[in-house]
Amino acid sequence: MTYVEQLLQERERMLLEEVRAERSRPFAGDTDLAQADVGDETDRSVAIGSGDLRVLEAVRDIQELLAISGALDRLADGTYGTCSKCGGPIDPRRLEAQPTATRCFERQWEREHVY
């Protein structure tokens, strides 16, 4: 097993533990908050915002898990380190910083700077 595979699998394991721990915490939906005695409107707003933040964090974790799975698949099929847009190599320094990267620096820059 390569260092990158170990790194990705360890991050995947940590994320899955976080997701499991988060799923075990009770979640108050908006209807629960509307009926709950949480104080004034400001308190209710903060409680709703906290619930929204939990949803956003869960989405982020799922996206990262999918990216890790994709990187492990690319390692297995030999396409890891190849840009999905231009087919050129992805700089090893970029992969070191972002092991799940699917694009070379140039294609990623283009994607982020489309006007």
Q: CA-CA distance, 22 to 50, in Å (whole number)?
A: 13
Same domain, 40 and 87: no
Report how many domains make up the chain: 2
DSSP β-bridge partners for residue 82:
89
pLDDT band at 21 (very low <50, low <70, confident <90, very high): confident
Residues in the chain: 115
Same domain, 73 and 95: no
Same domain, 23 and 64: yes
pLDDT tens-place string over residues 39-69: 677 766 666 666 677 778 888 999 999 999 9
- Does residue 10 surpass a pLDDT of 60? yes
pTM of the model: 0.73
**What are the helix (H) ranges across 1-115?**
3-24, 30-35, 41-77, 92-97, 105-112
Same domain, 42 and 68: yes
Same domain, 113 and 93: yes
pLDDT tens-place string over residues 87-115: 999 999 999 999 999 999 999 999 999 87
Query: Which domain range does residue 90 map to?
Result: 81-115
